Amino acid sequence: MSTALVTGASRGLGAVFADRLARDGMDLVLVARDRAGLERTAAAARRHGVSAEVLAADLSTPAGRAAAEDRLADPYRPVEMLVNNAGVENSDVFVEADLHDLQSQIDTNITAVMSLTHAALPGMIARGSGSVINVASFAGYLPAPGSTYASTKAWVLAFTDTMAASLPGTGVGMIALCPGRMRTGKHDAPAAPSPLWLDPAAVVDQCLRDLGRGRTLCTPGWLYRSVVGALEAPRRSMRAAARLAGRGRAKHGADAPPSTTRPAPVRTAA
């Protein structure tokens, strides 16, 4: 049996991830602040015959992140999948928002994603297998009025892009999940079906399917997928160009660390 660590598993999309991974036979480590919510998710997971640890931690704090990092880096209890799902959306108007709340959002949505991934990757790379799912948002593409939430999710998208480009050949996969509005209970969703409102279970299914296919970006729902597909077209060309440039650099030895003593190449006349 392999193990997945899911952040933000006390409710919402994280609980749906936990349920699906438990049904797939994965043991779980469940992280969030609300211990009672985590225990509910863990009890539901155990009904599928897997083990579920509860790790109550506030990922906006160094101590909370350290607890999750230690668990991820434990060589005796390897974690094969990290789901960076915990996220907060501070909807206050930027100039009126409490600076501490904005910083806490950055620490949860960005710092925790970075530090947990940093803790998980070395073991995954050493074992030659593993996967990381980073939950971003369609908001990361939207230049709509708002505060800092969208920019935290834009960071998650850019971070995953860079990491995914750095991991080929390691056996480790990374994907950014980029959903639009979901019926997780966080927002007042209309009762009527709408292509704008996604079913969290379908979002998780799509994400795991795309991860299995080696994709690095998952945008569930035809409406969001067509918009992101158009926005991503030029970036796909940039990624291909970056891959080619990277191969060229390696071929010409330019990946060697820069040396201050090495003389600059001198172009001589034929």
* Among residues 32, 113, 211, 228, the one that binds ligand NAP under rule CB under 6 A: 32
Per-residue 3-state assignment (H helix, E strand, C coil) for the chain: CCEEEEECCCCHHHHHHHHHHHHCCCEEEEEECCHHHHHHHHHHHHCCCCCEEEEECCCCCHHHHHHHHHHHHCCCCCCCEEEECCCCCCCCCHHHCCHHHHHHHHHHHHHHHHHHHHHHHHHHHHHCCEEEEEECCHHHHCCCCCCCHHHHHHHHHHHHHHHHHHCCCCCEEEEEECCCCECCCCCCCCCCCCCCCECHHHHHHHHHHHHHCCCCEECCCHHHHHHHHHHHHHHHHHHHHHHHHHHHHHHCCCCCCCCCCCCCCCCCCC
**184 binds ligand NAP per the rule CB under 6 A:** yes
Which one, 98 or 256, has the nearer CB to ligand NAP? 98
* Among residues 17, 45, 87, 90, the one that binds ligand NAP under rule CB under 6 A: 87
* Among residues 24, 34, 70, 74, the one that binds ligand NAP under rule CB under 6 A: 34
**60 binds ligand NAP per the rule CB under 6 A:** yes
Q: Which of residues 204-233 bind ligand NAP (CB under 6 A)?
A: none
Q: Which stretch binds ligand NAP (CB under 6 A): 22-30, 54-62, 207-215, 224-232?
A: 54-62
Structure-token match 């080696």, residue found: 214
Single-letter amino acid, residue 255 = D
**11 binds ligand NAP per the rule CB under 6 A:** yes
Q: Which stretch binds ligand NAP (CB under 6 A): 45-53, 87-95, 115-123, 261-269?
A: 87-95
Q: Which stretch binds ligand NAP (CB under 6 A): 10-18, 70-78, 94-102, 209-217?
A: 10-18
**82 binds ligand NAP per the rule CB under 6 A:** no
- Answer whether 112's CB lies under 8 Å from 134's CB: no
Mask: binding to ligand NAP, 103-142, rule CB under 6 A, as x and -?
Answer: -----x--------------------------x-x-----
**42 binds ligand NAP per the rule CB under 6 A:** no
* Among residues 6, 8, 21, 167, the one that binds ligand NAP under rule CB under 6 A: 8
Contact set with ligand NAP (CB under 6 A): 7-8, 10-14, 32-34, 37, 58-60, 85-89, 108, 135, 137, 179, 181-182, 184-187
